[in-house]
Amino acid sequence: MKTKIYFCTILLSGIFFAGCSSQEKSESTDAKKQAQETTTEVNNEPEKDLAESDTKLQLMENGKIGKYLTDAEGMALYYFAKDQPNTSNCNSDCLENWPAFYSEDFAVPEGFNKEDFGTITRPDTGEKQTTYKGYPLYYFVNDGASGDVKGQGVKDVWFIVNSETKFTQ
């Protein structure tokens, strides 16, 4: 009888310690996994910031209008023929339909000169807006997806931008 009690005590002790050991491993594994996720999140943030600051404008092509300038997501960029160099004449209601484009730092596609791009501060909103050869750049609200160029030629004053764009005054 003493042998059975002794055997059961050792068996139960072994099961107890084994259970504690696997629980510690599980907790340890969970802690390691959480630490890795935290490290991954921290490490991804600088990469994300780098990608945002390394924005690249693109040159896309449409069968009807040819090549045109877009932002990094493929959204067309337009100019307003009524603007003047370094001055936007698109205000209030106009800006609701033609939001200003602004990017602080970006690369330009082949055929464009980085020095042709600049920045103005809009007197009506105080916000910055990117310019091409002095003319402010805009999006069109009806362009809902990459590759849309629904703003081209609207009211004969809104046009896409490409490397051959000539501005008249």
Q: pLDDT tens digit string along 104-148?
A: 889 999 999 999 999 999 999 999 999 999 999 999 999 999 999
Measured distance CA(67)–CA(52) in Å, rounded: 24
Place of tokens 């002095």: 134
Q: Specify the 3-state DSSP secondary structure of 83.
A: coil
Place of tokens 């693109």: 58
Residue 72 forms beta bridges with which residues?
none
Residue 4 neighbours by CB distance under 10 Å: 8
Q: What is the pTM of this model?
A: 0.68
Residue 148: the pLDDT is: 97
